[in-house]
Amino acid sequence: MSTRARPDAAHGWRIGSLAGTPVYLGRSWPVIAVVIVVIFGPNLARPDRGPEYGYLLAGGYAVLLLASVLVHEAAHALAARWRGHPVSRIVADVWGGHTVYDSTRSSPTTTALVAVVGPLSNLALAAVVWGIRGFTANDTAQTLLGIVAFANLLVGFFNLLPGLPLDGGQIVSALVWRATGSKGKGLVAAGWLGRVVAVATVAWFVLRAFLEGGTPQLFDLVWPVAIAFFLWQGASGAVRAGHIHLASASRASDVLEPLVLVPGTTSVAEVADLAPGSWVAAADPNGWPVGLLDAESVAQVPVESRDRTAVASVTLAQPATWVVALPADAVLTDLIRVMSDADLSFAVVVDEESRDVRGLARAERINSVVGAELARRGRH
C-alpha cells in the first residue's frame, strides 16, 4: 500500500502562519543550527562559565538568527500581499529562506519593492537589537545581542549586492526590465552579475588574507566557497530562466491547437464527422471540460458500436485545474507559468473575459516550440 505525502510535508515543519500564509521550518534548517553551535560554541566559551557556556550561547544565536530570517521573509510576504499577489508559503531553510508568491502580472515596481523590503527589514532589526543592547547590563545578553545585530547588518547589506539570486539582483532585474521592457533581459543581466558576485565573494576572502600578511586557510574558505556555490547556482538558474523567458515571449495563442468541446453523451461516430483534425474534449452536464478524447480507446471501439458509444467513455480524465483563463494578449511565458504551477500536460485555454474556448495547450508542443527558439538563439 502506498500513500501520498501531505502537500506541506515537502516544505518542512509548519511552525505557524502570517496573515493566513503558512510558515515552515525547512528540514535543512537544523543543519545550519548544528553548524553554528559546533563552529561558534568553542569561540564563545569562557573559562569562568564552564565548557557548555559557549555552546548554549551559540544555540541562542541560532534561534535568534532563525527569527531574523523569518522577519526578512515576512517582509517579502507582506509586501507581495500589499501589491495584490497571493503568497503560498514562507520557508526558512539551509540557505536562509524563501517566500513563494504568485508573480503573475507582476511589474518591475512590484518586483523591486518586494525584493528591497527584505534586506531593509534586516537593517532595521539590526538597529533595534543594537538599541536594546544598550539598555542591557547582562554581559551574556550583550554578547548575544551584539552578534545578532552584526549578523543582521551583514545579511542586510550582503543581500543588497546587485546580482541574482540576492534581493539586490531582483532590484537590478526590475530596473533592466523597466528600461528595456523585457523581463527576460532583466533576468539575464542580473544573473550574470550574480556570477560576478559569487566569484568576488571568494576573491575577497582570499585577497584579504594576503593583504593581512598571511595565506588563506582551507577551513576559512569553506563558508565563502559554499556561499559562492549557492550564488553561482542561483545566478545560472536566473540566466537560464531569462533565456527561456526571451524564447517564450511570443503570443500564447501561437501554440494553441484547435479544440472542439462536446457533451460527454455525444457518440463517437458523431465526433468523427464533427471535428476532423481537431482535438476533442468531453464536457459534463454543466459544460465543464472533463477530459480529452483518447484516440487509442476510440480505435478499439468496433465500427458498428460507435454510434452507441458515448465520448465520455473513451476520454482521458483531466484535473479540474486544466481549464486556464488567460487574457487575449497573454504571452507564452504566462501560459507556461500557469501550466507549470498546476503540473499540467494539457490545458484548455479560455478567454479571460468571454470565457470562450480558445484552444488546447500541450506541454509537449510548448517544449518543442521553446526548444527550437532556444536552439535558434544558440541557447541549449
Return d(Cα 341, Cα 346) in angstroms, integer. Answer: 13
Q: Over 70: is that where the pLDDT of 7 sits? A: no
Per-residue cell: 107: 511589474
Q: Give the mean model confidence (pLDDT) for residues 7-14.
A: 74
Burial call 68-102: b when 16+ CB within 10 Å, e when fewer: bbbbbbbbbbbbbbebebebbbbbbbebbbebbbe
Return d(Cα 330, Cα 105) in angstroms, integer. Answer: 10
Q: What phi and psi, each to the nearest 5 degrees, are found at residue 50?
A: 95, 160
In this predicted model, what pLDDT tens digit does every residue of 84-134 receive, in sequence order?
A: 999 999 998 877 788 988 887 789 999 999 999 999 999 999 999 999 999
Contact 122, 155 (CB under 8 A): yes
Q: Give the mean model confidence (pLDDT) for residues 8-33.
A: 86
pTM over 0.75: yes
Locus of grid cell 495563442: 253
Return d(Cα 25, Cα 66) in angstroms, integer. Answer: 9
In this predicted model, what pLDDT tens digit does every residue of 261-282 receive, in sequence order?
A: 999 998 888 887 666 678 999 9
Q: Which amino acid is at 338?
A: V
Q: Over 50: is that where the pLDDT of 4 sits? A: no
